[in-house]
Chain A
Amino acid sequence: MATEETAVQGLPALAAQGVHKRFKIPEERSHTLKERVLHPLRRSRHEQLYALKDISFAVAPGEFFGIVGRNGSGKSTLLKCLAGIYRTDEGRIWCNGRMSTFIELGVGFNPDLAAYDNVALNGIMLGLSPREARARYQRVIEFAELEEFQDLKLKNYSSGMHVRLAFSVAIQVDADILLIDEVLAVGDAAFQQKCFDVFNRMREEGRTIVFVTHDMGAVTRFCHRAMLLERGEMVSIGDPRDVADRYLEIAFGREVGYADPDVGSARMGDGAARVSDVWLGDDFNDRRAVAPQAEPLTVKALVKFNTDVMDPAVGLMLLNDQRQPVVAATTTEDQEDTGGFRAGEHAVFAFSFHNMLAPGRYHTILTITHRGEGLDVIDRFAGGLSFVVSGLTASGGMVEIPVETEVSRWGYAPPSEIQPTGGSR
């Protein structure tokens, strides 16, 4: 931290090459000298946990770089290695410019000291010189909006005030490279808004920011590039949208298009045909687990006929994670006669629509019925496929239908006395 070197042109702001990090997990941890003395020859057995495996990447100056991954994927470990808090076992890391780390806000805050002392100490901890830290105190207090409370000891602050003060100090550290862990995302909505404003400002100022998060919305909104870690390995790097899709695939999918056994009951129907496979995507061999919002979506079902069936109707129902039906469609709406199928024949039924689903996880129920009222069930296959809809638009509704809005003024007279003239006044 606080390397005072000026950035060299043409070099990446941050670069890692072949970084490995192992943790020793002792099976029984000897924590005392006594145990060591009593059993001097006993080697403490431990397992090696690979937290990071061969990570190489570079962050360009001015880039907003996201590191995403599930819990325990190694993203915080990587951040700590970049920050120099952990030593890497192999590989090398370079930085160009003054670097500052925010893994937690208000590190070293002492509840028994007043704001001034805490700001000074925290500022020095984060890499400011004592003089700089004291000179910036006024700005810190103003940004935190704590002018009236500056003589109070920190223990008398509310948690919101505490976070505000800590964040204000953090952003006063004018580093070229900022390493930010997701814990910054604390505080109420108004404070989060302020955080995002600051992030935006920093991005515009051309600071290099490495940002660890779970929040795919933030990644796609802020980051120029992102990296996905899974079990310590770099799975994907590049466009934040692709990385976010891969993340959702891993986080929700487990396997591509896996079946969720607890959706719906056992199969029913007379067994004249069976749905043998359900998948997402156009290609049988290139299945997907993530359906991006606002793009065409296709669910396909492979049906094997055991007896001759004439004009069967195949229906698809999509349930959201609360098991509420969101979409229902059958082949009968589109085509009355699906044709005759022979015993042993395979057929694929496809359901395509423009994806207007809200982001989240969806489950399928497929139904095959004999021609008619749809009550004569051949097969009902619930939970054959579970997939994730990714996207940024989450209005809170179950679907994201494009809605146009319009405003027309009606003046002040009671609506009964006036008819809208059509245009806006």
Chain B
Amino acid sequence: MGLRPAERDPADRGLEVSGPVLSEPEAHPAPTASDPLGQPIRGPRALGDSWSRFWQLAYNIARSEFKLKFFGSALGYLWQVMRPLLLFGVLYLFFVVVFEVNKAKGAAAHFYGAQLLGSIVLFTLFGEASSGAVRSVVDRESLVRKIQFPRLAIPISVVLLALFNLGLNLVVVMIFAVAEGVHPMLSWLELPLIILMLTVLTTGVAMLLSALFVRFRDISPIWEVVSQILFYCSPVIIPAEVVREKLAHGSLDHFLYHIYTLNPLVAIFQQFRHAMINHATLSAGQIMGSWAALLEPLALVAVIMVLGFWVFNREAPHIAEDL
């Protein structure tokens, strides 16, 4: 920054170096007392003092990302829907056209296409949000190091963005389902609850991963593998009925089936298939054996959510320094 000679008083044009004439505000002495002197500044945190500001931030970050994807390319919407649809196309060709799984398994296999597409779309939310969250905080380094804002807004915005996409994708799923012959059912009202459970789980995972990645950079490849495993271990391609049939003998089978059902995605996807597409498929309660047994995966969702928040909240004050 340079000086602006024209602005100086005419009096100090020569050698007279006089400061600008200021009306001096009374200088405050440095504080010594321990009584509060206004709003304390506590440093960065996961959440701020104001919920509305937190949501505005998360929502607007997600919104601008969405806009980027949507208007960034000529076929914005199409590309967004294309990804799960392409995956669906390949799997459908394999399992329905070639192996004809929909004909072999009786009533539960009806509308297998719609079940498959629905599960893929739900998994897309989970996969997109969790793997998107991993790098999210680190990628927004410039924000984190230069502005004070509730840090949690970043991973939450990733989840919100995935929810926007889910909204678009679900429209396609419902069109496909109705075209396949699924009739509207009262149980469709369960959809918000199913999505809520999935969102809570996803949020927990997103918080956990984004906070851990700041310290452990190999979280990213590890999560890629784990995410793939979860895709195949959830009722996306292979319905839960088939798994239950295969794992019906002996204590080892019983143990493995128990592990399988611990995965909250199993109950969530299976309930989606049951309530949204085909009542002949097993509901979440039936898969678990009883509705009470559902408490296990539910508890796991709660644990992941709390753990995710706890870890993120613990890391939040240091993120700007550890990047």
Type the 1/0 row for A267-297, where 1 means its CB is closer than 8 Å to any CB of B.
0000000000000000000000000111000
Any B CB within 8 A of the CB of A218: yes
CA distance A410 to B28 in the complex (A): 57
For window 5-53 of A, CB contacts with B under 8 Å fall at: 5, 8, 11-12, 15-17, 23, 31-34, 36
Chain B minimum-CB-distance residue to A8: B38
Q: Which of B18-26, B84-92, B93-101, B248-256 makes up part of the contact surface?
A: B18-26
Any B CB within 8 A of the CB of A241: yes
Any B CB within 8 A of the CB of A171: no
Any B CB within 8 A of the CB of A120: yes
Chain B minimum-CB-distance residue to A199: B1
Instruction: Give chain B residues whose Cβ lies under 8 Å from the Cβ of A34.
Output: 218
Chain B minimum-CB-distance residue to A196: B4
Contact yes or no, B37 A85, CB < 8 A: no
Any B CB within 8 A of the CB of A202: no
Contact yes or no, A391 B40, CB < 8 A: no
For window 223-274 of A, CB contacts with B under 8 Å fall at: 224-225, 240-241
Chain A minimum-CB-distance residue to B20: A221
Instruction: Give chain B residues whose Cβ lies under 8 Å from the Cβ of A150.
Output: none
Any A CB within 8 A of the CB of B187: no
Instruction: Give chain B residues whose Cβ lies under 8 Å from the Cβ of A193.
Output: 4
B143 → A minimal CB distance (Å): 5
CA distance A32 to B80 in the complex (A): 33
Task: Identify which of B28, B50, B52 contacts A59 (C-beta below 8 A).
Answer: B28
Any A CB within 8 A of the CB of B147: yes
Any B CB within 8 A of the CB of A323: no
Task: Identify which of A1, A15, A64, A80 contacts B320 (C-beta below 8 A).
Answer: A80
From known contacts A107-B146, A113-B68, A241-B19, infer whether A217 and B3 are also in contact, taking CB-CB under 8 Å.
Answer: yes
Type the 1/0 row for A42-86, where 1 means its CB is closer than 8 Å to any CB of B.
000000000000001111111110000000000000001111111
CA distance A103 to B26 in the complex (A): 27
Contact yes or no, B216 A33, CB < 8 A: yes
From known contacts A87-B44, A185-B1, A217-B1, infer whether A12 and B39 are also in contact, taking CB-CB under 8 Å.
Answer: no
Chain B minimum-CB-distance residue to A237: B30
CA distance A81 to B321 in the complex (A): 12
Most buried by A among B1, B15, B22: B1
For window 173-227 of B, CB contacts with A under 8 Å fall at: 212, 215-219, 222
Contact yes or no, B72 A112, CB < 8 A: yes
Any B CB within 8 A of the CB of A369: no
Contact yes or no, B43 A391, CB < 8 A: no
CA distance A248 to B314 in the complex (A): 42
Q: Which of B55-63, B125-133, B270-278 makes up part of the contact surface?
A: B55-63
For window 141-157 of B, CB contacts with A under 8 Å fall at: 142-143, 145-149
Chain B minimum-CB-distance residue to A87: B43
Instruction: Give chain B residues whose Cβ lies under 8 Å from the Cβ of A124.
Output: 56-57, 60
Any A CB within 8 A of the CB of B105: no
For window 97-133 of A, CB contacts with B under 8 Å fall at: 101, 103-104, 107-108, 110, 112-113, 117, 120-121, 124-127, 129-130
CA distance A225 to B19 in the complex (A): 12
The B interface, classified by DSSP as helix, strand, loop or mixed, is loop
Q: Which of A88-96, A157-165, A301-309 makes up part of the contact surface?
A: A88-96
Any A CB within 8 A of the CB of B49: yes
Contact yes or no, B22 A17, CB < 8 A: no
Any B CB within 8 A of the CB of A324: no
CA distance A221 to B1 in the complex (A): 11
From known contacts A12-B37, A15-B38, A87-B42, infer whether A107 and B147 are also in contact, taking CB-CB under 8 Å.
Answer: yes
Most buried by A among B27, B40, B212, B219: B27
CA distance A36 to B34 in the complex (A): 41
Any B CB within 8 A of the CB of A393: yes
Task: Identify which of B1, B61, B218, B321 contacts A192 (C-beta below 8 A).
Answer: B1
Contact yes or no, A294 B148, CB < 8 A: no
Task: Say which size band chain A's interface belongs to.
Answer: 35 or more
B264 → A minimal CB distance (Å): 23
Task: Identify which of A57, A121, A354 contacts B64 (C-beta below 8 A).
Answer: A121
Instruction: Give chain A residues whose Cβ lies under 8 Å from the Cβ of B8.
Output: 392
Contact yes or no, A225 B27, CB < 8 A: yes
Contact yes or no, B68 A96, CB < 8 A: no
Contact yes or no, B43 A84, CB < 8 A: yes
Any B CB within 8 A of the CB of A2: yes
From known contacts A33-B216, A392-B17, infer whether A94 and B60 are also in contact, taking CB-CB under 8 Å.
Answer: no
A2 → B minimal CB distance (Å): 6
Chain A minimum-CB-distance residue to B144: A85
A297 → B minimal CB distance (Å): 12
Chain B minimum-CB-distance residue to A401: B15
Task: Identify which of B12, B16, B38, B148 contacts A1 (C-beta below 8 A).
Answer: B148
Contact yes or no, A213 B146, CB < 8 A: no
Contact yes or no, A93 B17, CB < 8 A: no
Contact yes or no, B3 A221, CB < 8 A: yes
CA distance A110 to B317 in the complex (A): 25
Contact yes or no, B30 A58, CB < 8 A: yes
From known contacts A8-B38, A12-B31, infer whether A125 and B44 are also in contact, taking CB-CB under 8 Å.
Answer: no
In the complex, given contacts A81-B41, A108-B140, A241-B19, what are 14 additional A-B residue pairs having Cβ atoms less than 8 angstroms apart?
A32-B216, A33-B218, A58-B29, A58-B37, A61-B25, A63-B25, A85-B43, A85-B147, A92-B40, A101-B148, A103-B147, A124-B56, A240-B19, A393-B17
Q: Which residues of B contact A (CB under 8 A)?
A: 1-5, 7-8, 12, 14-17, 19-20, 22, 24-32, 34, 36-44, 49-50, 52-53, 56-57, 60-61, 64, 67-68, 72, 140, 142-143, 145-149, 212, 215-219, 222, 317-318, 320-321
> What are 8 A-to-B residue pairs whose CB atoms are below 8 Å?
A5-B38, A60-B26, A94-B40, A95-B39, A107-B142, A107-B146, A121-B60, A224-B24
